[in-house]
Amino acid sequence: MKTHIRRLVMRFNVVLQAVLRRGIPQDGVASGRRVYLVNVVALGAASICLFFCGFNIAAGAVHHDRFLAINFVASLLFLSVPFTNGFSNAAAAYLLLAFMFAIVVLLALLSGRDAGAHFFLISAGPVLPLLLGTRRPILVAALTFVAISTFLVLEFTLPTLVFTGRPWLPQIRNPFSESLDIGFDDSVFILSMFALEAVLACTTFVAFRLAESAEASLQREYARSELLLQNLLPNPIATRLKERPDSVIADKFDSVTVLFADVVGFTSSAARKRPEELVAFLERIFGEFDLLAEKHGLEKIKTIGDAYMVAGGMPIRAEGHTNSVANMALDMINVAGRLTVEFGEEVAVRIGFHSGPAVAGVIGRRKPFYDVWGDTINVAARMESSGVPGRIQITPEVKRVLGASYTFEERGTVNVKGKGQMPLFFLTGRSIDDPGVGGVR
């Protein structure tokens, strides 16, 4: 029995949500919230009309079939509002307001002042901006004026009571007085006030709930965009770009260390792999390199195909950046060896780096990109391209900066494109006498 009831409740909830979301556009967030609110108010008004149908029957006013008919027809009209959203979202809101105004005035004229039906017109002030939005202030003000004016006219011109029925609650004992006699007119007025409060409370609650949901969604989108920006640009650069979006961001550094790494044999390996295998392969390798860059406090500049570029000493100037790059290079060789075992195929990395002055900045308006330029970058790229798989090639300047903390192997003189003959070295590891973490020997 409980399972059957639970299924009925779930089905009812599915149908209810389908009606409430009827007509919500896929690309309009703000208008979608108003459509949802219009549907909520329409279903709420229909529920109130059906409730008063039952109340009239229970109160013995069945002979006043016009009130039953009006409330029943009104409930059908309100239920039809969500289905008009398919034609026009604005038309559905106007149709709902027209139905509410006409039905409230008609019921007030038929039931009299004491029934309190015309008090629903007071809700125009808080409800109209929620249903029509804030971009139509003149229209909202005009409709509010019409509603309040109509309320005042009805309040001062309606007779006290037009119809009566048998007392709904004939006698209620009151501990503070002898008795409290609530007749049919009092009952209708009390229920009308409760219904009015229900309309206002429900509309306000849903509006605030939608606003909170929208705010939470904006917070999530903001956090996502912040994370994306931080992944695209270094944090200090991203902060400067947000603070001065129209300014040119360019910095000159007297000393940076730039490293290039290339996955050897990637082109031939790519021809044998499926697209998803190829992407997973690079993601695994470069993901490990990203972790190393973070570990050593270095800035990943970019990846180009199977090439990886990282820099030290920028965008925040720091001492010891050459040592940090050297440590990362040694760790990259170790990672390549570990991934060779994991993949079951050789993962060879050719690495080269160089130190010197450089200029860095942000280029691109729609897709801002942080890059670095200068002869130092060209030499670092040549160190990688003229290097040997599984080795770390460096310049004499780098060897001099690293000093006795590391071990080297002299390669000899190499003809470097754009530079001519240069004496080059391989970085092989850290010195045994140095207290740091050991590298490749």
Catalytic residues: 382, 417
C-alpha separations of 74 from 46, 67, 71, 102, 196 in Å:
7, 10, 5, 10, 16
Beta bridge partners of 422: 414
First to last CA, the chain: 75
CB of 37 closer than 8 Å to CB of 191: no
CB of 51 closer than 8 Å to CB of 188: no
Token output for 265 = 């044999």
Beta bridge partners of 415: 421
Length of the chain: 441
CB of 81 closer than 8 Å to CB of 39: yes
Beta bridge partners of 272: none
Helix or strand run (H / E) with residue 331: helix 321-343
How many CA atoms within 13 Å lie on the side-chain side of 412? 2
CB of 181 closer than 8 Å to CB of 202: no
Closest by CA to 372, choosing from 250, 265, 222, is: 250
Question: Cα separation of 143 and 151, whole Å?
Answer: 12
Beta bridge partners of 308: 261, 303
Beta bridge partners of 312: 257
Question: Cα separation of 16 and 123, whole Å?
Answer: 25
What 3 state SS string does 351-406 have?
EEEEEEEEEEEEECCCCCEEEEECHHHHHHHHHHHCCCCCCEEECHHHHHHHHHHE
